[in-house]
Structure 1
Amino acid sequence: MAIRTALFSKVLRDRSLEEAAELAAEIGYDGFEPMCREPHLGVERSLEEVTAFRDHLDDLGLEVPCLATYSGHYVGKSQSECEAELEKLDTFLEFAEALDCDIVRHGPGGPPVREATDDDYEHAAAWLARAADRAAAYDVTIGIEIHAHTITETVDSTKRLIAEIDRENVGAIHDAGNMYITLDDYGQKSIQKLGDDLAHVHVKDEQRIDDPDRPGAFELETDDGLETFQPRLLGEGSVDHGPLFDALAEAGYDGYVTDECHVPRDDREDEREVAEHELAELRRLLG
């Protein structure tokens, strides 16, 4: 099966969940990855609403490759706070079952790798193992995103945590945009290193800049100090996704690639143009 394209609903965050899915289908995406917070698929949604949304997706011909939750973030939390995150996960697992989705994003949180301690990894692994055990009952994989300013901001640190969790249904969500920020290799070597731990792929473009006042600019403390970044349209920033897509093809990856573009927009028509541009670029990269 070929690699398929999906759109992260946050790209269309000014529309309702249903409207966002309809536009993704109209433009030509194969899948739709819901942002699991309001105004889209927040934990407060009822299971009846989610089931009705699944019927809507079926009518649109869209699959859900992953639920992009903002749950977990166990490092630095108390036992009661961690238990609350597991309860939140339970709800999202019910949503995943209703949506025929087999990956739920659920992360460790924590400080960047340069500040992380062995205790941070041990704490996160223990709670994520419990999360994975709950997910296994739904035949769902826990997807840990490689993300800046967490204990999994590199391939090596992500593989370390996955090894410590020691569950079959835990994998990595590759994100070249995030890895560009941390200067981690996001091309062929990253896919080779991840191997069977690769569960899902996110893509977005970023660029290092000097002016923090430019639209959408954000600052992050990296190993090189405080740096400024600006989200860009896919193919117009500094993240070269070509080698990544070549490596995915070589590895026989047959899942989804979800576009997460977060350039600032002025209106709903801009949203549509962004989503259309991103799909065209994805198709170009897929050859």
Structure 2
Amino acid sequence: MRFSVFTASTPDWTPDVVARKLAEQGWDGVEWRVVDQQESETPGFWSGNRATWPLTGLEEAVPEIRRITQEAGLGFSGLGGYAGAWLHDDVDRVLAATAALGAGQVRVTMPRTDTGVPYPEVFARTRTDLEWVVSRAGEHGVKALVELHHETITPSASAARRLLEGLDPRHVGVIHDLGNLVIEGRENHRASFELLGEYLAHVHVKNARWVADGERSADGSLTWRHEWAPLRDGQADVGRYLTDLRDHGYDGWVTIEDFSTDLPLEERLRDDLAYLRALVGAHV
């Protein structure tokens, strides 16, 4: 397995600093965040993130992205795009950039389930969109990735397999995301890998936990909320997960997106890599 970092989780650093820090710490690669984000005076994961490349003008940024990545000796685990499958112009832009960079694969986001539109209708429309996406990915010689993500139409491996069934796995695949599955969609991991088969294309690792917020609903039920947690402290068993991946035969990229804030950023990433390597080493 090779380990990389998704730059959504490195908001304080500019791309040059990200590449240098990851190389110094011994990471194998980087997954650049690509989106036209909301600006903020204070860097954050989702707005004002300094390690994000804008979608607008992405074509012009390709040489700089390539230079920064290659000069640091890092590989591309893919691009972390936010283009919705229904936004065809945006999707084609990130597919073209992925091809130009030699990054191989890029995330294309799925619709949410809280829009008020019935699920079967959203599912059917998205399947049509994905058929177009896969055709364009084939033209560009890259792969579009569908992430298992809570509150979207693909929170689980079962839902993603149903959506992708029959599409060319050379040009579309699934990101299996350990932390997201704590929130919604968890199935037995080994069974999920087997179910996805050739569609298992990429892995994201973070951790999460559910906490009681001390309040009760109108009917008296205790209410809970989810929050991101350090890899060692969340409800997902990272060591068991990596073992299951290895036993399944997965030997691709494992990309960290650690949104916990218990440790400062540099220390957090250094500890994440040490932890992952220790877990992999313990199960060889």
> Considering the TM-score relative to the shorter chain, is it more than 0.5?
yes
Deviation at 1:187, TM superposition (A): 2.5
Equivalence for 1:63: 75
Task: Name the TM-score, length of structure 1 as normaliser.
Answer: 0.83
- Equivalent AA in structure 1 for residue 69 of structure 2: L
1:22 counterpart (16, 20, 35) = 20
1:272 aligns with 2:266: yes
Deviation at 1:119, TM superposition (A): 2.1
CA RMSD of aligned residues (A): 2.3
Deviation at 1:265, TM superposition (A): 6.5
- Equivalent AA in structure 2 for residue 204 of structure 1: K
Task: Name the TM-score, length of structure 2 as normaliser.
Answer: 0.84
1:144 aligns with 2:121: no
Greater share of strand residues, 1 or 2? 2
Deviation per CA, 1:8-61: give whole Å up to 9, x if none: 112211211221122111111101001112541221234343212212211211
1:253 counterpart (238, 250, 253) = 250
- Equivalent AA in structure 1 for residue 278 of structure 2: R
Deviation per CA, 1:213-267: give whole Å up to 9, x if none: 9xxxxxxxxxx9963112111111111122221121122212100001001368x
Equivalence for 2:41: none
Deviation at 1:170, TM superposition (A): 1.2
Aligned residues: 259
- Is 177-186 or 11-20 further displaced after alignment? 177-186
Deviation at 1:211, TM superposition (A): 2.8
Name the CA shift for 1:226/1:141 in 2 (closer, same or farther; >3 Å): farther
Matched residues, percent identical? 28
Deviation at 1:111, TM superposition (A): 0.5
Partners in 2 of 1:212 and 1:41 — Cα distance?
A: 39
What secondary structure sits across from 2:276 in the alignment?
A: helix
What secondary structure sits across from 1:174 in the alignment?
A: strand
Partners in 2 of 1:260 and 1:173 — Cα distance?
A: 13
1:283 aligns with 2:277: yes
**Moved segments of 4+, more than 6 Å:** none
Aligned counterparts, 1:8-157, within 5 A? 8-37=6-35, 38=37, 39=50, 40-72=52-84, 82=86, 85-111=87-113, 117-157=119-159
Deviation per CA, 1:92-116: give whole Å up to 9, x if none: 122212321111100221307xx85
Deviation at 1:161, TM superposition (A): 0.3
What secondary structure sits across from 1:34 in the alignment?
A: strand
Partners in 2 of 1:158 and 1:31 — Cα distance?
A: 26
- Equivalent AA in structure 2 for residue 88 of structure 1: D
Equivalence for 1:79: none
What secondary structure sits across from 1:276 in the alignment?
A: helix
Contact 2:111 2:122 in 1 (8 A): no
